[in-house]
Amino acid sequence: MFNKVVTNQTKTMILLMVVFTTVILIFGGLVYFSIVNFSHQRFYELLKIRTATIVQIEKSKKQLDLPENHILNGLNDEELPMEKDYVFAVPADTNFTQISREVKIPDTFFKNIVKKGEDNYNDTEFYYIGQSFRFHDKEYIAIASAKNHYVVYYLGFLKKTLITCIILSLFFSMIFSFYLSKTLFKPILKITGKVKQISSENLHLRLEPHPDNKELNELVDTFNTMLTRIETSFETQNHLIGNVSHELRTPLTSIMGEADVALSIGRTAEEYKETLEIILDEAEKLDKKIKALLMIAQTGFNGKIQKIDQIRMDQLLWDVIETSRKIDSRNNIYLDISMLPDNPKKLKVQGNEQLLHLAVANIISNGCKYSNFQQVKVSLGATDTDVYIIIKDLGIGIPESEMNKIYDPFFRASNTRNYEGYGIGLPLARNIVRMHNGELIVSSHENQGTTVQLRFPTMYSRPKVKVPS
C-alpha cells in the first residue's frame, strides 16, 4: 500500500535524508566519543604524574609516618579540581576491606594495584589512579584522585552543541534532499507531462532532448523513435481506410458491371471475348492495387526484424540506376559524385538492402516518368553522421495546394492524369526511410520540377536499425 501511495520522488527524498542522517550521526558520534576518550586519557596522565610525585615525596622522607585518615595535604599550589591524595601501607594479609570502607573505593582497586603495580578507576565524578612502591622493605600504595571538570562540564556543553548541530543538519539535509530530488525528477516530470499531451490527434509531437543528460536523452530518443513508428502506422491505417474502399471499388464495379451486361442478354463469342478482356484488365488493376496495399502494410512497423546489412549507398545507387535503365531504356539518369567523401566508410548505413533499393528506385522512377524522361540528376554526399541522396527532376512538379497530401496512399496530384500510376510510391518510400531512422523531404513547384532529399544516419552514428517485415 505504501509503494502505491508514495511517489518515487518522495522515496528518493526519504532515502537521501536517511543517508544524510546516518552520516551526520556517525560523524557526530565519532567526534564525541573521540573527545571523551581523549579527555579520559589526558586526565589519567595528569593523575599518573601526581601519583609519581607523591611516591617521590614519600620516598624522600627519612621515615614514613602515615596519618590515620591516610589523606595527604596538597602537594603544591597547582592541584587538580577537588584533588585528594592517599598513601596506604599494604596490610600483611592484603585485606583492604577497612581501607575501602573508609575512602569509599572498591577493594579490588587496591588488590589490582598490588598485583599489577598500577591501576586506575573512576566513578560518576572522580577519577583515581594508584601505584605501589616499597620504602624501607615495606610496601605502600600511593593514590591520586580528582574530579574531571572537563568531562562533567565541557563534555556536557559539547554534547548539547553536537545535538544542536545534528538537528540543524537534519533540517538543512531535509531541504537539500527535497531540492535535489525535485531537480533529479524535474526532467522526468517534464517528459511525463509532454507524453500526456500526445494523442492520436497530435502524433507529430516529439520530446525535446535534455543537454548534459546522456541517460535521459537515450530514453527521449527511444521514445521519439517509437512515436515515429506509431505515427507512420497510424497514418498508414487512416489513409488506407479512407482510400482503399474507393480504389478497390472502382475495378470491382467495372468487373461486376461488365459481367452483369454480358449475362443480361445473349452475346456473340466476339462480344464475350471483349467483355472478358475488360474484366481481365480490371482484375489485373485490382491485383496490382492489392499488391501495393500489401507492400505498404509490410512497412507498417509490426515489430518483426528482417535481415540487416552494412550497405554502401554508392553501390546501391549504381545498382538502382542500372536496374532502372534495364526496365526502361528511356530513363535518363545522371549520378553526381562530386560530393563523395574521401573516406568510403562514411557511405555505409545499416538497413535492409531490398527495402532501400525499392524506396530509392520508386523516387527515381517517378522523377523519370513525370519529367517525360528528361535527365534526372542524382547527387550523393556524406558527413560524419549522415548520408544524403538528392534526386532532382525538371518535370511537371506538384501543385502547392496538394503538397500536404503527397504521402496519402493512392493520392495522385491533379496534373498526373496522363501518367500511369497508383499513388503508392512516395508513401512507401517515406515509410522505408523512416524505418531506417532517416528523413525524406520533398520540395516541388508546378511545371518547374521536384527535388527529393533522403537522409540516412551512417552505421557509426546510430545503433543498429530494426526493419519490420
**pLDDT for the residue numbered 241:** 58
Average pLDDT over residues 228-240: 68
Please say if the pLDDT value at position 128 is more than 60.
yes
Average pLDDT over residues 237-243: 58
Please say if the pLDDT value at position 70 is more than 60.
no
Q: Of 351 and 301, which is predicted with more confidence?
A: 351
Q: Are 96 and 108 in contact (CB under 8 A)?
A: no
Instruction: Give the Cβ contact number of residue 329 at 10 Å.
Output: 9
C-alpha cell at 161: 552543541
**What does the domain layout of the chain look like in residue ranges?**
2-152, 198-298, 303-469
Q: Of 196 and 373, which is predicted with more confidence?
A: 373
Report the alpha-carbon distance of residue 304 to residue 438 in Å, rounded: 19
Question: CATH code for 2-152?
Answer: 3.30.450
Please say if the pLDDT value at position 238 is more than 70.
no
**pLDDT for the residue numbered 97:** 79
Closest among 175, 206, 203, 407 to 299, alpha carbons compared: 407
Closest among 456, 465, 444 to 380, alpha carbons compared: 456
C-alpha cell at 308: 540487416
**pLDDT for the residue numbered 74:** 45
Calculate what percentage of the chain has a pLDDT beyond 70: 81
Mean pLDDT of all residues belonging to the chain: 79
pTM: 0.47
Please say if the pLDDT value at position 134 is more than 70.
yes
Closest among 372, 440, 379 to 406, alpha carbons compared: 440
Please say if the pLDDT value at position 272 is more than 50.
yes
**pLDDT for the residue numbered 175:** 83
* Amino acid occupying residue 22: T
Please say if the pLDDT value at position 345 is more than 90.
no
Average pLDDT over residues 409-438: 83
Average pLDDT over residues 388-399: 94
Question: CATH code for 303-469?
Answer: 3.30.565.10
C-alpha cell at 243: 482510400
When pLDDT is cut at 50, 70 and 90, the band that residue 299 belongs to is low
